[in-house]
Structure 1
Amino acid sequence: MADSLSYLICNACGTQHPTADRASLPTCFICDDPRQFVPASGQSFTTLQALRDEGTRRNEFIPLPNHSGHSTGADPETPQLTAIVTTPSFGIGQRAILVRTPAGNVLWDCVAYLDDATVEALKRLGGIQAMVISHPHFYTTHLEWAARFECPVYLAAEDAQWLARPGKEHDTEGRRVFLEEVETKVVIGGVDSGVRIVKLGGHFPGSQVLVYDGYILTADTLMMTPAGKSTWKVDALGNPRTRPPGVNSFTFMWSIPNMIPLNPTEITRIWHVVKNYEFRSAHGGFVGADIVDDVSLKSRVLDSMKIQIRAMGYDQHPLLEETV
């Protein structure tokens, strides 16, 4: 078996495939799925070693703001969440988020690029004790990360077919943990970290969010909209204002790049799970996809669902009667 640093990585989505033989891999099965796409320039691959050798990329660490209601007893000046962003952007361009808890650190999602500088920076922050991947588009090089930090990585059992490196021959230490339940507690060293992995489905059958201490990390499952990121606090003259009625904060998509929405049945099923959790700050899969310290955030999720369902022509749908 070839060294995994020489395994081919899709330039479009960042998925690492278990071969160094370019002649054996003409396409990426993730990009050929209707939820993703092959760029107009065509399919192409690189390797983790080649990305390192280029010397142009690095992972930046960006602290995200704490909300005022956090309750874990952590120093309010210490960021509970830190985004990890590859620059220049690679693949889909998502960010990972390090969640710092008293029990240990949990890495939410994964970026494809990993180098020694990233490992050392994370060690200074306490390392990684567990990883959680939201959905297959962000599987990327998760086995490389899990091996470097010798930690488990939690994946939805429903989405195991999308693993490009399946089986024990690639996960020799058995680091992958396939989740069957709707909710999973992340336990680190026998201690409940407070992190909850919540399976909502929709984008993929097993699409997951992470809930911790008033934060919800949404990836592509609850996709934040430009209007959702707007504050609407003041007008052009500096006068106070509120959000206009009928403006959404999230959209619910089967395919984000190809703009295929979820149907009302799926949206309703997502609501009946997510409504059971409390959160006031949301952080999506990309830089800037943040709503911080809004006690009405759950209502904004429900309002967004109602807006999408009405726009599809379902004026009498039962979800329209739901309240928070």
Structure 2
Amino acid sequence: MSNDTLLICKACGTQFDTSDRNVLKNCRICDDPRQFIPPTGQEFTTLAEMKGNYENMMAPDQTNHDIISLWTVPKFAIGQRAFLIKTPHGNVLWDLITYLDDESIRRISEEGGIQAIVISHPHYYTTHSLWAKIFGCPVYLAAEDKEWLCREDPQGRVFVEGNEKEVVKGVTAVKVGGHFPGSLVLHWKDRLFIADSFVTVPSALYHENRLPGTASFSFMWSIPNMIPMPPQDIVNIWKALKPYKFTTTHGAFTGLDVRDSRVKTRLLESAKIAIRAMGYKESQFIEELSE
């Protein structure tokens, strides 16, 4: 069966193992309380139907041209971006967008192709079997989140079992949990690619004269439904990332890049703000944990 005819959820971009609309009535990703069904109801499309109506854009990061953002216009499904990270040891694609066409394949190939794909969590699994097949590379997914796979095709899947996995030299997937049990972030040099594992908030983007108690990140079990993570999950995110150095975070959407030598400290501050807001004003985490 052609990948072009397999059904894709219009709300989240997940591709399924059937072309039969009589068989597939619901998207199990969107039925989960972390996601939602649009008010208009569940709808599906295919790559064949998308072709000619969408295109993928690519743009280098403003401070490092070895990082290239990819996103689809007009916006499709969740609307996240992916990142092509070019390293001397191979190119890594962080997260995925659903749409893939010949022009995107050509442009990515001109950049050296893809040697590894790492996906942060099930909302961005999208068409990963197709990407892996086209570029002949493994796809790294958290073992804890296997149950959310919507295609039986095992093309290139590698399940991250431990707390971290170096996918190519110098590029490490770090398991932080929280949003999903296996939620991942990606560390490379002084960069942290965070997806939805923790969320860049508007007050993160202006750095000057920040008042005490100003958050840079939020910690959400469900982002669209605004359900926060339990305090222990927030603590676990900090514990997982404390050993790593980073001065930039790249969020899931265009414009959500925080560039600040204090960004790691701001992550810790944001974690403490969130936990205090839940009523834990005297917790050991707030009193004792520091850089």
Name the TM tier (shorter chain). over 0.9
1:119-268 matches, cutoff 5 A: 119-166=105-152, 170-171=153-154, 174-187=155-168, 192=169, 194-232=170-208, 242-268=209-235
Paired with 1:159 and 1:253, the residues of 2 have a C-alpha distance of 17
Paired with 2:131 and 2:217, the residues of 1 have a C-alpha distance of 30
Query: What is the Cα-based RMSD across aligned positions, in Å?
Result: 0.9
Shift of residue 309, structure 1, vs aligned partner: 0.7
Shift of residue 271, structure 1, vs aligned partner: 1.0
Does residue 48 of structure 2 align to residue 49 of structure 1?
A: yes
Shift of residue 61, structure 1, vs aligned partner: 0.4
Does residue 270 of structure 2 align to residue 314 of structure 1?
A: no
Paired with 1:120 and 1:319, the residues of 2 have a C-alpha distance of 49
Task: Show CA shifts across 1:21-80 (max 9, x none).
Answer: 00001100000000000000110000011101xx121100021133xxxxxxxxxxx612
Structure 1: any 5+ residue segments left out of the alignment?
67-77, 233-241
Which amino acid letter does the alignment assign opposite residue 24 of structure 1? V
Aligned residues: 290
Other-structure match for 1:273:
240
Paired with 2:54 and 2:218, the residues of 1 have a C-alpha distance of 31
Other-structure match for 2:81:
95
Name which of 60, 65, 80 aligns with 2:62: 65
Does residue 27 of structure 2 align to residue 28 of structure 1?
A: yes
Other-structure match for 1:114:
100
Name which of 271, 287, 290 aligns with 1:305: 271
Shift of residue 216, structure 1, vs aligned partner: 0.1
Other-structure match for 1:18:
17
Task: Show CA shifts across 1:151-179 (max 9, x none).
Answer: 0010000000000003xxx12xx400001
Once superposed, which parts of structure 1, at least 4 consecutive aligned residues long, lie more than 3 Å away? none
Paired with 1:183 and 1:80, the residues of 2 have a C-alpha distance of 23
Paired with 1:229 and 1:118, the residues of 2 have a C-alpha distance of 30
Alignment TM-score, normalising by the size of structure 2: 0.98
Shift of residue 231, structure 1, vs aligned partner: 3.1
Task: Show CA shifts across 1:111-136 (max 9, x none).
Answer: 00000000000011111111000000
Which amino acid letter does the alignment assign opposite residue 309 of structure 1? I
Paired with 1:4 and 1:186, the residues of 2 have a C-alpha distance of 26
Paired with 1:182 and 1:213, the residues of 2 have a C-alpha distance of 19
SS of alignment partner, residue 22 of structure 2: helix
Which amino acid letter does the alignment assign opposite residue 15 of structure 2? Q
Paired with 1:95 and 1:226, the residues of 2 have a C-alpha distance of 18
Paired with 2:163 and 2:86, the residues of 1 have a C-alpha distance of 23
Other-structure match for 2:262:
296
Structure 2: any 5+ residue segments left out of the alignment?
none
Other-structure match for 1:238:
none
Which amino acid letter does the alignment assign opposite residue 124 of structure 1? E
SS of alignment partner, residue 192 of structure 2: strand
SS of alignment partner, residue 111 of structure 1: coil
Which amino acid letter does the alignment assign opposite residue 251 of structure 1? S
Paired with 1:277 and 1:87, the residues of 2 have a C-alpha distance of 34
SS of alignment partner, residue 239 of structure 2: helix
Paired with 1:146 and 1:162, the residues of 2 have a C-alpha distance of 18
Aligned-pair identity (%): 50
